[in-house]
Each structure stands twice: as structure tokens, then as C-alpha cells.
Structure 1
Amino acid sequence: MSSARRLPRLRSLAVLGALGASTLLLTACTDNADTDRSSVAEAAPTGSPSGTGTASASPTSASPSMDKDQEERKALVPMAKVTWDKAADAAVKEVPDSKLVSIELKRTSDEATATTGSPSPSTPNPAPSKGAPEWEAKVATSDGAVHRVDVDAVSGKVFRSQAEGDQSADDRTRTADRLKKATETPQQAVKAATDKTKGTVTEVELEENDSQQVIWAVDVVSTDTWDKTTVDVDAANGKVLGEDTDSD
């Protein structure tokens, strides 16, 4: 009888032992799960995978920078205090009975300040410093003889004048012929060009196009983009024949 009474207690102990083992197993699994979740949380990135929240936005594309020619125009054009027409007037007055053939805004070079050459140049005023703005003009008399006249683009004074020494007879004849055909003045041509394209005039030149028409080629620089547009104007009737923008 006593043995029969002890059997339930043994089963109870076995059951209790099994329950205890189960509890320990559950506790261990829970600890492992917490540890795994903690490791995953530490390894997870802080940014939102969907790209919202605190995720950084993609950088915006910057505006393209200016090329060297545009940068040079932006630096040089504002330096000139004397406009092309004032410089042209000064150049024409320097050589009696002459007319404008070309004029260009550029930086003063060593060549422009030289006092040697054949024939010897006239230097009525001090030359600007090297790199300063100047108008390099070329004027010609009725026989086609060309003279180079450099005008300070700040003061408007002629600082160097010299006859072109390397002109051939054909060159003179060609220049004289162009001047005869150019019934439109450079001032009229520039007005036609700037009515078409707004900006600052940096060059005017009497030349022939591919169709052998005598034209005034007028360079106009935009002070917004610093692009240069060349406008071709018929030197006989003042009509705009075409334009070409050079952003380089």
C-alpha cells in the first residue's frame, strides 16, 4: 500500500521536472531572440529605405560654368569706358581723309606699346599698361593705304598710329574697292546689327562674304550670357544678311 501511495508523488516530481526544463528552455529562447533582435537593430541603417524621412536628397545639378572666351569677355568689356564709335572717330581724325576699315576691342599688348618699326609710329599720348583695354582701329585713305591706330579704351586718346608697311598693290586696290562699295556707314551698320541683337559692340570690320558681297561684320556681346554674335550687314543697303552666335 505504501508503494502505491509513493507513485503519484514520483509522477508529480517528473512533471514538475519537465515543467522546469521547459521554463528554462523558453527563457533561453527568449534571451536569444532578444539578442538577435538587438543585433539586427544595431546593424540596420538609420536612413529610411523608401527615401523619405531623414534620408538625404540627391544633389541638384550646378549650372554650367563659362568657358575661357566668355570669361575673357566678361572681364574685358566692362573695362572699356569709351565706345567703339568714339574710338573710331578719334582714329579717323588721326589720319586725314581716311575712313574706318575695322575696329576691335582687345587688351593692350607689347606690340601696341612698341615705338619701333617701319615706318616709325606716331605716339602722341602715353600707352596704357599691358593688359589694359584698347581699341585697335584700321583706317584707309581713298587709295586703299591702311593705317593702324590704337586708342586707349579708357581715356579715348590715340596712343599709337602707324602706316601698314606690308600692303601690296593688290591689297590697296581691294581695300579701295570695298570702301567705294560701302555706301552704308559703319554707324548705320551697327544700328542695324544692334536692332537685331542687343548687347555691346566689340568689333566692326569691312569685308567680303562667301558671295563676294561687301559687308560690315559687327560683333555684339551679350552682357547676360557673354556670348558673342556676329551680324553681317550688307554694306550697300544696310540689310541684315545673317547672324552667328559664338558661345565659345
Structure 2
Amino acid sequence: MRRSPHPRTVRRRGRHGLPALLLAAGVALTGCTDYRLEPPTEVLPQLEFPYDEAFAKARHEVPDSRPFSLGLRDSDAPAPVWYGRVVTPDGTVHEVWMDAVRGRVLGASVPAGQSASAKARAAALTARARLLPSEAVGRVKEPYFGKVTQIELSEGRMKAVVWRITVAAIRQDDLRTYQVDAVTGEVLSVREGGPAARATVAPPSTALPTPPMVSPPEPPSGPPSTPAPYQPSP
């Protein structure tokens, strides 16, 4: 019997060799991350006091008030701050700011210069809203992973009262802003864009107290000493 000049090599495939190759090829082609293999990390982990509890505490600070707006400031800092605005029946806006880590109330005030027309508008908006902020957020199903960083009551198209909700998402590390009808609960629009670490809201009329500046140490008055030149030993 003549032997073949090129011996035949028998390759053994592992039990999971083909599925593993197909999975790797699929990931390489799509460029997507399989969250079953690599779970997403938590967005804004320092935000331990969520928006709904912040709204509840702001309303507790101002009896007989309704939610109006809430925003997170310095969200990328170790101790972010919630700025909440609630409205009393006469339309007066009250501001309450809270520690977004432990939920401590840092201060409260009534902004000066609220005109009669501004109070009437605020009272009308809060009176027309039928959905609470948490109910409006419940209508937003995407993204599956994320945290609310801003929510405010405003007037949308055709004078509809809407909750404008901003969510810091994990999957694309960006912000998504939704408009939810505050009466019917219909999601009217979705807008994407912006890094999640910059989720901020404009500060209220009364700013938080800032720590005193520490001056750097003064330099020495005399000229710096010059070391002696190196001289080799004999």
C-alpha cells in the first residue's frame, strides 16, 4: 500500500468550539456589547437620594405645595445637590435644596421678585397637571438603566402641560430627554445627546454658601540658595 506524501491531519473540534466561534464573529461584526457577559456599571453611583424622595422632602418642607421642578447640580461631584421647586396654591414658588447623597435639607427660600403673572402661570400649570412626577417617569420605559437627573413642569406644544424628564443613561453614557403629557401620560417626544456626567440644572436664585478661600503659602523673601559645585575627592 502506498502512503500519501501528505498525511491527513484529523482536527478535533471542542464541544463548544463552533458556537464560541460564531459568538465571537457576531460580536466582531456588530461591534455591540453583550450585557449578559458584561453587565453595565451603575450610572451616577454617588446619587443615592433619588428624585422622587427629593420631591417628597421638598414638599414636606413647604406644606400644601405641589411639585414644579427638580434638578441635579454638580452630578459628577462626590456630593451632588438637588434643587427643588414647589408651588403653593397662590402660585408662590419655593426653593429647597438637598444633599443628593444622604437627603439632608441644606436650605430653603422664597425667590424675590415673583410677579403676579408669574404666580398665576405657576398656579395654573400645577393645577392642570394630573400626573405626579413619579407617574410621568413610569411612562418612560427606556432606557432600562439610568437615573432621573432633571424633571420640570412646563407648557409644550398646543399649550399642553408636560413633564420634561431628563435621564442619564448607561448604555450610551448620554442624556435622554422625554416630554410626557401631564394629563394623558402620553410620551410626546424623545431627544438624545450629551454626556451623562454633565447633567446639571441652573442654580436657584439663592446660591449655596461657598467655603472661604484659602490663600497659598507665601514664597520665601530671600533668593533661593545655590548648592556648591561638585568637587571630586583627591
In 2: Cα distance, 1:216 partner to 1:94 partner? 22
In 1: Cα distance, 2:112 partner to 2:78 partner? 25
User: 1:165, CA displacement in angstroms?
Assistant: 1.1
1:86 aligns with 2:50: no
Which residue does the alignment assign to 1:211? 158
In 1: Cα distance, 2:193 partner to 2:90 partner? 35
Aligned partners of 2:46 and 2:78 also within 8 Å: no
Which residue does the alignment assign to 1:164? 111
Q: Please, which runs of 5 or more residues in structure 2 have no aligned partner?
A: 1-30, 32-40, 196-234
TM-score by length of 1: 0.58
The aligned runs of 1:79-228 (5 Å cut-off) are 79-107=46-74, 132-193=79-140, 195-198=141-144, 199-228=146-175
Q: What does the per-residue CA deviation read over 1:86-135, in whole Å, with 9 as the maximum and x for residues that have no partner?
A: 11111110001001100011129xxxxxxxxxxxxxxxxxxxxx973011
Q: Please, which runs of 5 or more residues in structure 1 have no aligned partner?
A: 1-62, 64-73, 109-129
Aligned partners of 1:76 and 1:133 also within 8 Å: no
Aligned partners of 1:230 and 1:244 also within 8 Å: yes
Which residue does the alignment assign to 1:16? none
User: 1:153, CA displacement in angstroms?
Assistant: 0.5
Aligned partners of 1:201 and 1:221 also within 8 Å: yes
Higher helix share: 1
Which residue does the alignment assign to 1:11? none
Q: Identity over the aligned pairs, expressed in percent?
A: 34
Aligned partners of 1:218 and 1:231 also within 8 Å: yes
In 2: Cα distance, 1:239 partner to 1:92 partner? 25
Query: Larger radius of gyration, structure 1 or 2?
Result: 1
Aligned partners of 2:54 and 2:103 also within 8 Å: yes
